[in-house]
Structure 1
Amino acid sequence: MRYIIIGAGAVGGTIGGRLAEAGHDVVLVARGAHLEALRRDGLRLLTPEADLRLPVPAVAGPKELGELRPDDVLVLCVKSQDTAGVLNEWAQVPVAGGGTASQLLPVVCAQNGVENERTALRLFAHVYGLCVWLPSLHLEPGVVAAHSTPQSGILTVGRYPDGVDDTIKQIGHDLGESRFDAPVVDDVMRWKYGKLLNNLGNAFEAVSDLTADEELAERLVEAAREEGIQALNAAGIPFVGTAERRAVQGDRMRYAEIPGTPRGGGSSWQSLARGTGSIETDYLSGEIALIGRTHGIPTPVNELMQRLSARFAATGRAPGSMPLAELAELVTRAQESAT
């Protein structure tokens, strides 16, 4: 298999870099200064154990690859707000021997949120989910840092909407050779809905400094998660709980410092730090708001965080710049207004 990593940022760069390090055929898809750095110097992958320089081929898009190969795997690592545009770009690319990417090639959604797989299935016949537990950082062109050890992450994979086949078994095997745990499951969306609940903290981290009062911060995030649990339960959507995830994780994935490379924040925080002008919380906090509205469950905290993070992205406000006490007051007002 050749792995085409569409969106070689923090997650995509780490997955692509580790696969390439293990000897797998990889192409990175990137843009702007990041693409220029990858072409010039290769991918620099920083880990707790090593500073790796990996000469992985990098392209701007499908036009540079021409005809795709029948053994290609498209690994989608862009933010959810970019999914539809990217899929449309790749869907009609011809595959050697006849047919198009949308007809023949597997698409693996290695992304936060739960909407990407459904969006992909609208165009592509063969869609797979990948639940990403992979603390990583991308703020500098050409450089990605992965902070976990001994494994770089846990990447639970399966067919969408459910099931297992030989393709995803092979993908899981290849990831397992590349410093990841990659359990192959027949209920991958249950894992992704569990991760969605965890990702409800992303908006809080993006707008405020949660270290200012960790106890208060945890109460605020827990309020959003409790709304999420109520919404998923009302919708009859199963999800993996914290205890089950921790039992699978064990001690195989621990955060470790990388000298000179602080952890920073998660994916939403990084979007604000890079000044991208967009943020994925419409598909995280906003997903819970959508499910809540559909099933009559109030979700005022998640609706607030969706609005706040979108405002930060649109105005270029620095991540973490809202005082935590101010955020707590806004959360209280939102909850009171919903009662």
Structure 2
Amino acid sequence: MRYIIIGAGAVGGAVGGRLAGAGHEVVLVARGAHHAALRDGGLRLRVPDGEFTYRLPVVDGPAGLGALRADDVLVLAVKTQDTERALDAWGPAPVEGGGTAAERLPLLCAQNGVEGQRMALRRFRHVYGVCVWLPATFVEPGAVSAAGSPLTGILHLGRYPHGTDGTARRIAADLEKARFEAPVVPDLARWQYAKLLSNLANAVEAVTGPVESEAALALVDRVRAEGVAVLDAAGIGYASVAEQRALRGDKVTLLPLPDAPRGGGSSWQSLTRGTGSIEADYLNGEIALLGRLHGVPTPLNDLLQRLANTYARERREAGSMPPEELVRLADEAEAAVGKPPAQP
């Protein structure tokens, strides 16, 4: 199988690089300065066992490949807010022997949240979800780092909306040869919603910086508890913290990498890079949506969604709000629950 990594940033670059290092055929899809750096100098992947450069085919869209092959696997690793654009580009792409990518090829959604795969299922017949637990950083154009050891990450796989099949197992086997653990599970959603609960802290980190102070840690606990209340009200199951810890054990330990400092998570990286967008609508916003559908107030996730989007839109500095200020705003948001909306 040939793997086409649509969005060769932190996660996509780490997955693509590790697959290439294990001898698999990989094509990277990127734009702008990152595309130029990958084309001219290759993908530089910094990991605990060294820095590796992979000279791989690089395109900015399906036109650069001509007709896709019947053995291609599309790995969608863009942020969820960029999903529609990627689906627009790749869904109609022709495949050798007839038909389109949307009709014939497997699409793996290696993304945070749960919405990207739902978007994909409107277009693609063969959609697979991935629960991504892969600490990775976009270092600079052409370079990404992944500090996990001895495994680079853990990637649960399953068909969307549920089930498993031979394709998922073949992909998992390739990933496991490439320094990942890749359990194939019929109930992938349990793991994705568990990851969603942990990703609710992404906006806290993006706005206030590393979640280290007692105030920030306590706020994260409150935000997660709000998410748990919403999922429980919606009847959505999720893997427990204990279950996740038991699975991970010490399989992915973060080690310091020279010249590749570990930055924050994906939302923090979006602000640091000044992309102008952030995935809060599909993390905290997912909890807000479910809360409205099931009658559960979500003032903390509403606040974080709004702040994260403001920081991205206005290109504010990541981590520039003091944690105490965010806690104050959170207290006010919770106190206002039940009050009528302010009049314009």
Identify the TM-score tier after normalising by the shorter chain.
over 0.9
Counterpart AA for 2:259: G
Scaled by the length of structure 1, what TM-score is found?
A: 0.98
Which residue of structure 1 aligns with residue 304 of structure 2? 305
Which residue of structure 2 aligns with residue 174 of structure 1? 174
Which residue of structure 2 aligns with residue 185 of structure 1? 185
| Residues 136 and 145 in structure 1, CA contact (< 8 A), matched pair in contact too | yes
Please list every run of 5 or more consecutive structure 1 residues that lacks an aligned counterpart in the other structure: none
Which residue of structure 1 aligns with residue 73 of structure 2? 73
Which residue of structure 1 aligns with residue 96 of structure 2? 96
Question: In the TM superposition, what whole-angstrom CA distance separates every residue of 1:171-193 from its partner, at most 9, and x where no partner exists?
Answer: 10000000000011011111111
Which residue of structure 2 aligns with residue 325 of structure 1? 324
Which residue of structure 1 aligns with residue 266 of structure 2? 267
Q: Distance in 2 between matches of 1:7 and 1:120?
A: 15
Counterpart AA for 1:337: A
Shift of 1:210: 3.6
| Residues 210 and 264 in structure 2, CA contact (< 8 A), matched pair in contact too | no
Q: Distance in 2 between matches of 1:139 and 1:200?
A: 23
Q: Distance in 2 between matches of 1:5 and 1:257?
A: 26
Matches within 5 A, 1:57-72: 57-72=57-72
Identical aligned residues as a percent? 58
| Residues 69 and 96 in structure 1, CA contact (< 8 A), matched pair in contact too | yes
| Residues 109 and 128 in structure 1, CA contact (< 8 A), matched pair in contact too | yes
Q: Distance in 1 between matches of 2:317 and 2:158?
A: 37
Matches within 5 A, 1:108-257: 108-211=108-211, 214-257=213-256
| Residues 107 and 127 in structure 1, CA contact (< 8 A), matched pair in contact too | yes
Question: In the TM superposition, what whole-angstrom CA distance separates every residue of 1:268-287 from its partner, at most 9, and x where no partner exists?
Answer: 00000000000001000000
Counterpart AA for 1:151: L
Which residue of structure 2 aligns with residue 48 of structure 1? 48
Q: Distance in 1 between matches of 2:234 and 2:2?
A: 38
| Residues 135 and 153 in structure 2, CA contact (< 8 A), matched pair in contact too | yes
Q: Secondary structure at the match of 2:139?
A: coil
Shift of 1:126: 0.2
What is the RMSD of the two structures over their aligned residues, measured on CA atoms? 0.8
Q: Secondary structure at the match of 2:74?
A: strand
Q: Distance in 1 between matches of 2:174 and 2:294?
A: 40
Shift of 1:266: 0.4
| Residues 139 and 145 in structure 2, CA contact (< 8 A), matched pair in contact too | no
Q: Secondary structure at the match of 1:138?
A: strand
Shift of 1:306: 0.2
Shift of 1:250: 1.0
Runs of 4+, deviation exceeding 2 Å: none
Q: Distance in 1 between matches of 2:196 and 2:82?
A: 18
Q: Distance in 1 between matches of 2:114 and 2:202?
A: 15
Q: Distance in 2 between matches of 1:181 and 1:214?
A: 32
Shift of 1:139: 3.5
